[in-house]
Amino acid sequence: MKTKTIAVTGVIAALYVAVSLLVAPFAFGAVQFRIAEMFNHLIVFNKKYFLGIVLGVFITNLFSPMMAYDLTFGVAHSIITLSLSILATKYVKGNIARLAINTILFTFTMFIIAFELMLWFDIPFLYTWLTVAIGEFGVLAVGTPLMLALNKRLNFKTLI
């Protein structure tokens, strides 16, 4: 792995952790607005961001009140959905379409987090899936134009 890739991976992980902990009361629990989830959109630009995102999720979940559950379900959710996004967008042209697919995938697969929260808090699964999916969709929908604007300036495809 190139030094540049390692450095960018570390920066992405650190940014994910910093942004998550900045809004920690809203990043964990039955209703979540983990703003750092917008970094999931980086996978659309280059699959090399995979490790940085997953590492960021892992480190952030070390600070979770549900640490053991979050380390299992949260990290699994990221790995599964990032992988699905890579596969689903492989032949899709245009960043907007790819970001839309990524948003839908992450919103739908929030059932994994809903299952975790159901186990931890003993709350209804469907209600929890709805609340965390709405939060995820909101963050990724707001993150879409932001990531597109940042991409124009930074060119995510070649940054890593």
Among 48, 53, 49, residue whose Cα is nearest residue 34: 53
pLDDT attached to residue 33: 75
pLDDT at 14 over 80: yes
Structural domain tally of the chain? 1
Residues 69-117: tens digit of each pLDDT: 999 999 999 999 999 999 999 999 999 999 999 999 999 999 999 999 9
pLDDT value of residue 66: 87
Neighbours of 91 (CB within 10 A): 6
User: From CA 79, how far away is CA 107, in angstroms rounded?
Assistant: 14
Please give the residue range of the domain that contains residue 121. Answer: 3-159
pTM (two decimals): 0.94
Q: Residue 143 above 90 pLDDT? A: yes
Query: In the predicted model, what is the mean pLDDT of the chain?
Result: 94
What is the mean predicted confidence (pLDDT) over 13-17?
Answer: 97
